[in-house]
Amino acid sequence: MNKSKQPTIIDVASEAGVSIATVSNVINRRKVPMAPETIRKVEEAVVRLGYRRNVMATNLSRRRSYELGLIIPHFGGYYGRFAENLEQKVHHFGYHLSIFSAAGMDPEIEQRHLEHLLQRRVDGLVSHGLAMSMHSTQQLVGEGTPLVIFNGWGWPNEIVKMAVNLDFAKASSEAVQHFLENGCRSVIYAGRSKGMGANEQRIQGFMTGLSDRIESTVHALLDAGELGIEGTLDEALRLSGDLRPIGIYTFNDALALELLALCHERGISVPGEIQLIGMDNEFFSKSSYPSITSFEMPVDLQTSLVAAFLMRQIGEELDEENTQLLEEYLPRVTGHELFIDLEMIVRKSSGK
């Protein structure tokens, strides 16, 4: 055996009394016809030596890394679930997923991670709508590496081949309509400008939801990131005068929960005076008091689509299931953006 501790394919070959090519063959290329006796000998040698193939050498030789990169803003809530889920999906295709958090939405960190991933020669990239400029992205990724975006809007096709988005606009519209049906006389959107595209989509849907009642209904777009949680509530109350109930649609459940806590503190009745709708359907939304109306995120579907599109771009064979999935959703692609519906989960905070 070699001087280094870990046995190599050479050790296995000599142990089994065959050539290294044969060992390589039985290890991965089962298509080549081989004598069962040879296979047995090799497999036994592998076990006896505790041989473990070296992925670095394999991939260098194959000229593919079989690695995919994922960039998300952080590991919490939805993004964490997304990452965990995607890892499973791509594993089925034989790929490894390298996950990076961009520390919120820091363009520089994004860039650093991207560069690193490219040095690793990842075969494909998945990212949330980047905060870094499209120009930098273009330069970094170039034409080389397939890139699929999720929850990113307005990216040119030259950079991003496909964007798999949750339809926040539609959901937001539904939220507003839900408020109006519930008799809300004032509706507020408490957003986060740092949410970038996702925030803009919500604003757009919010306004659409108001539609013909846009004149007759008090409404406003607030930035909770800027106003702070107290400021947001104050402003909502001020703008609404004595109109009740007020419907506040928040950027996410976390924000809704914080507003709820503040309402408790001030003795404001939810849903009596204020109704709340969040987004993400986090664990705590069901168990908070009162429970918070929210939108369920179809993470599983989204990661399936992301994986399927990416695999197709890379040139991987898709199985029956994934082919069908793509065929089903392809018609729903506009340009290169796909929209997935969200389901509203109505709970106590919106008066049910």
Q: Which is nearer to DNA, 32 or 103 (CB)?
A: 32
From the list its own copies, DNA, none, pick the one residue 80 interacts with, judged by a Cβ distance below 5 to 8 Å according to partner type.
its own copies
Scanning the chain, the segments in alpha helix (DSSP H) are 9-16, 20-28, 36-49, 55-62, 77-92, 107-119, 134-141, 168-181, 197-210, 224-240, 253-266, 283-287, 299-314, 320-329
Cβ proximity to its own copies: between 38 and 58 the closer is 58
Q: Identify which of 300, 297, 292 has the alpha carbon closest to the alpha carbon of residue 256.
A: 292
Pick one of its own copies, DNA, none as the site partner of residue 216 (Cβ within 5 to 8 A by kind): none
Site residues (CB under 7 A) for DNA, limited to 58-117: 58, 60-63
Q: Distance from CA of residue 8 to its chain's centroid?
A: 39
Cα separation values, 54 from 26, 62, 94, Å: 15, 12, 15
**Looking at beta carbons only, is 43 or 296 nearer to DNA?**
43
- Give residues with Cβ within 8 angstroms of 34, minimum separation 6: 22, 25, 26
State which of residues 81, 89, 178, 347 lies at the interface with its own copies (CB under 8 A): 81
- The owner of tokens 């273009």 is 138
The one segment of 160-168, 173-181, 186-194, 253-261 that binds its own copies by CB under 8 A: 253-261
- Record the tokens describing residue 288, joined without a space: 């908070």
Residue 182: burial class (beta carbons within 10 Å; 0-12, 13-18, 19+): middle
* Span 1-40, contacts to DNA by CB under 7 A: 2-4, 6, 8-10, 17-22, 24-25, 27-30, 32-35, 37-38
Among DNA, its own copies, none, residue 38 binds (CB under 5-8 Å by kind): DNA
Q: Name which of 136, 147, 149, 80 is nearest 107 in CA terms.
A: 136
Q: Which of DNA, its own copies, none interacts with 83 (beta carbon under 5 to 8 A by kind)?
A: its own copies
Q: Does 47 bind its own copies (CB under 8 A)?
A: no
Query: What SS3 class is residue 70?
Result: strand
Task: Please give the angle made by the CA atoms of 339, 345 and 349, to the nearest 5 degrees.
Answer: 130
User: What residues from 139 to 198 belong to the interface with its own copies (CB under 8 A)?
Assistant: 142, 144
* Residue 28 contacts which entry, its own copies, DNA, none (Cβ below 5-8 A, type-dependent): DNA
Residue 27 binds which entry of its own copies, DNA, none, with Cβ cut-offs from 5 to 8 Å by kind? DNA
The residue (of 21 and 243) whose beta carbon lies closer to DNA is 21
Question: Binding residues for its own copies, per CB under 8 A?
Answer: 1-6, 50, 52-57, 59-60, 63-65, 74-76, 80-81, 83-84, 87, 96, 98-101, 115-116, 118-121, 142, 144, 254, 257-258, 260-261, 264, 282-284, 286-289, 291, 314-315
